[in-house]
Structures are given as C-alpha cells and as structure tokens.
Amino acid sequence: MLGSTTRRRFLGATAAGGALAGLGDLAFLARLRPVSAAESQLDPKIVQLQPDIEPLVRLLETTPREELLEVVAGRIHKGLAYRDLLAALLLAGVRNIQPRPSVGFKFHAVLVVNSAHLASLASPDEHRWLPIFWALDQFKASQAEDVTQGNWTMAPVDESSLPTATAARAAFVSAMDRWDEGAADTSVAALARTAGSNELFELFARYGARDFRSIGHKAIFVANSWRTLNCIGWQHAEPVLRSLAYSLQNREGDSPANSDAAADRPWRRNTELAGRIKPEWQQGKLDDAATTEMVAVLRQGSEEECPRKVVELLNRGIAPQSVWDALFVGAGELLARQPGIVALHAVTSTNALAYAYKASGNDETRRMLLLQNAAFVPLFRQAMVSRGGKLPELALDSLEPEAPSASGAEAVGEIFADISRDRKIAASKMLAYLSGHPDPTDLMTAARTLIFLKGNNAHDYKFSSAALEDFYNVSPAWRNRFLASSVFNLRGSAGPDNKLVERTRKALQA
C-alpha cells in the first residue's frame, strides 16, 4: 500500500534512475496496454461527436465520480488506448462545462487536459497513466459543479445559419470583432469543416491574446487546445473550437466593441507599436545584458512602458529570444516575490503566448504576441499588488546559489524537502544544483512525481508542465534562474499525499 513518502525513502533514490525511493510503488501503472469503445444512445439536444469517440465520451459523462477510475481501468485492461481516452476527456469537458463566468474555475478541467498530457509524455513509462486519471477525476468534479450552476451543455450548431466556406473566415473575424457569440459559433463551425489547422491557429492565436480578461486563461486555452488536437486528431476540432470561440468572448458588461475597457487597451496600443518594429527584427543577436535591461523594466514599468522597451530593444538589433528570456524570468520572479494564484498565471500565460509565438507563421501576429506578453507581465504585477499589497523585493538575477549538503540524487531529495520548509533556500539550492547538472532530468522527474503524489488542484499540473517545459525555452544563461523560481509553486516532499494515487493503483491492479 502506498504510504507517505518519508524523507529517508526520498533520499534513497538512485542517481541513474532519477526516481525517488519508495515511489517504485507506482510500478503498478506499467501493466497497462493500449483501446476500443462501446455503443450508447445519443441525445439530439446536445452536440454529437464523431461516432467512434461518442460512446467513450458518454461513458465519462454518465459514470459516477466514485466509480469512474475503476471503470476506465477496466477498459484499459481490455485495450483502451491512451490517445482515445485523452480525446474523450477533452471532448467531455468542452461539451459539459461552460467557460463562464470566467475561463478558469470549473473550466480548469478542460484547460488542464494538455498539461496532464505533457506530464504524461515527460514521465517515466510506469507513471504515464497517473496524470490522465487525475484529470478524469477533475472532470467529474467540474461536471458536478457545472450542474449546480445551471447544467450547461453545448447544443448542436444551428446548421441553417452556417456561412458558406468562402464566407466563413470573414464572418468569423467580423463576429469576434463585434463580440457576437451567436455569429461566432456558426462561423467557427463552418471554418472547422473547411479551413486548415494553420489558418485557424493564426486566427485564434490573435484573439487569445487580445485582452487581459481571465488573467491569461484565454491564451492558455488556445495553446492547450491546439496542442491536444494535434495529438488526438483534427477530426475532433469542431466542438473544441466552438468552446474556444465562446470562451474568448468572455467579458462583463457591455460589448468591448463599443467601450474602452482597460483590458482591451494594450492590444490597441500594441497594434500601433508593432508597426514601428523594423522589418529585420527577427535577425537580431542574443544579448544577456539586454535581457537584464528588459527584466529591470518589467519590475517597475507599466503595461505601456514595457512594450515600448521591447520595440526599442528589437530596433537596436537585439534578438527576440533575449526579450522572451526576460519575459520568462520576469514572470518567474513575480512568483518568487508573491507565490499565489495570480503570479503562477503570469508563468502559465507566458508559456502559452510563447508557444503561440513559435507556432505562428505570421510576422504581424508574432509581433503582437511578444508585445502583448510584455504588457501582461506588468498587469499581473499590478493585480498582485491590488490583492496583497506591496511586493517583497527579490531579484532572480541576484539570487545567490547555496550548495546542498548532499550530492547526486540525495541532493534532489534535499531540495524538495526544503521546498516544504523554506522555498527561498530551496531556490538557492536548486540554482547551485543546476549549475553542476546541465541535464536536470532527475530533478524534473522528482518534481513531477511529487505532483502526482501530492498535487490536489489543476494549477499543480498547469504550472509544473509549463515551468518544466520552459526550462528548455529559456537561453542557457538564464534557464537555471528561471527554473529555480519554480520552487515557489512546486510541491515539497513533506506535504500530505493525495488519495487519488492509491485509488488509481487499486483500480489498475484489479
């Protein structure tokens, strides 16, 4: 039986395997093999999915929460494949959970699907089902919450109102610009059936970044939707894109098309600023001093000043990567200064906007994503001040390394034990550890395993997947400091175990 991970067991991990001692109890996950679904009745009042996935989605929807893990484990033993379960999980979420009143809260059951998938991909083979089983349970919790809030369910699209294939793109752009939910729903359904994934992505990347409502969740939903669809297949795109278009129009009060709300001003200012960037802006040189310069502006500058600084640096011949380094570090530094829900979204939204930037092939879109992220970081800082008062002073580029007492795998154990006691000391020790271990696989495996064992909310998965991935998206001169900031929201080894791992173990061993 899986018990609490004691410090002695934690420190007994072998450097070669990178696993934590005592977590071999998770070996029960290695018995699973890959896939098929059953038949069920369809309700004409709800959107119908692809016939090959509909029965599995219905299984997730109708099975009680206290039985679902055991039922799904039985299907896995009979051959249910990982990809089909991932697809059903995403589709069940978009069909049953309304992304209102904010693209967050209960809707995290949808937002976290890609994060759970990334955690699975990056985990040892024997751990890969754990994040998905956690996401299954999260879906059932959010589904129950949605029921108490009116039991929203995505309805079939109004087929009689669909624009033609040639008119669909213009209709969608017009509807989104007017914040017209009905017109956006029908036009995006038409686009999903006729347009290519790259064309669709370019549209959604811009709308996901156009405003600061929902503290970055709109950009996160865009990135996570695309990444999951690329795994499960674009035959499932239509309901996902309908949910996405609906969520991107989330707002309070009158239509932003007829107002001058603060959340919309950065986009309008940055549209003008983007035109000032030199045509050869992507050919600049990497410059660590310029990153330091940008980080300093992010600490104090406004949502107007920071994008202007970006334009200045790019026009001086600084590489966009040096600016992105500053945005990653600036977001991580906010988390170190005030750990909590707002700061962690500075990290996860930067992850999403950086993904969109790299995936986009449109020069103007890339400029806007970079400038919007530069506006969002100070907006996160301002939101943190409004919630918690003046922020403590803590500069990541001044953080001093402190060597762990132990070495190798035992040093990893020491760092995660310190996370439970003193996160700043843990950050200093992680910085020292990383300087001597350029390949942080063991450390990352430990971080993910502790999320599996001790994580208890969607942000544990969203944050850890983003931060660990972005270690490789930051330049070598800065990546260790960025990852050191992650200790301010990772799980320490002394925290209580959640109950889901034990339930998953029993279900899969049955």
Classified as helix, coil or strand, 196 is: coil
Which pLDDT value is given to residue 28?
Answer: 52
Answer yes or no: is pLDDT of 11 > 80: no
Domain residue ranges of the chain, discontinuous segments joined by +: 262-388
Question: 133-175 pLDDT, tens per residue?
Answer: 999 999 999 999 999 999 999 999 999 999 999 999 999 999 9
Question: 362-384 pLDDT, tens per residue?
Answer: 999 999 999 999 999 999 999 99
Which pLDDT value is given to residue 31?
Answer: 53
Answer yes or no: is pLDDT of 116 > 80: yes
Which pLDDT value is given to residue 27?
Answer: 54
Lowest model confidence (mean pLDDT) among 83-87, 122-126, 335-339: 122-126
* DSSP one-letter code for 275: T
Answer yes or no: is pLDDT of 321 > 80: yes
Neighbours of 435 (CB within 10 A): 11
Max CA pair span of the chain: 69
Question: 65-112 pLDDT, tens per residue?
Answer: 999 999 999 999 999 999 999 999 999 999 999 998 777 689 999 999
Answer yes or no: is pLDDT of 40 > 80: no
Q: Look up the pTM and report it.
A: 0.91
Which pLDDT value is given to residue 8?
Answer: 38
Per the prediction, the chain carries an average pLDDT of: 91
- How many residues comprise the chain? 510
Answer yes or no: is pLDDT of 37 > 90: no
Return the higher-pLDDT residue of 335 and 128: 335
Main-chain phi, psi angles of 142, to 5 degrees: -70, -35
Question: 191-219 pLDDT, tens per residue?
Answer: 999 999 999 999 999 999 999 999 999 99
Give residue 39's pLDDT band: very low, low, confident or very high (50, 70, 90): very low
Answer yes or no: is pLDDT of 24 > 60: no
> What mean pLDDT do residues 475-491 have?
98
Answer yes or no: is pLDDT of 41 > 60: no
Which pLDDT value is given to residue 338?
Answer: 96
Which pLDDT value is given to residue 125?
Answer: 83
Lowest model confidence (mean pLDDT) among 12-16, 56-60, 314-318, 396-400: 12-16
> What mean pLDDT do residues 456-483 have?
97
Which pLDDT value is given to residue 466?
Answer: 97
> What mean pLDDT do residues 279-294 have?
98
Which pLDDT value is given to residue 25?
Answer: 55
Give residue 13's pLDDT band: very low, low, confident or very high (50, 70, 90): very low
Rounded (5°) CA angle 254-255-258: 100
Contact by Cβ (8 Å): 504, 69: yes
Give residue 48's pLDDT band: very low, low, confident or very high (50, 70, 90): confident
Query: DSSP labels for 386-398?
Result: HHHSSPPP--GGG
Which pLDDT value is given to residue 301?
Answer: 98
* Stretch (H or E) spanning 351: helix 341-359
Q: Percent of the chain having pLDDT more than 70?
A: 91
Q: SS in 3 state form for 409-439?
A: HHHHHHHHHHHCCCHHHHHHHHHHHHHHCCC
Cα-based distances in Å from 495 to 222, 418, 502: 33, 11, 16
Contact by Cβ (8 Å): 220, 349: yes
Answer yes or no: is pLDDT of 252 > 90: no
Return the higher-pLDDT residue of 47 and 181: 181
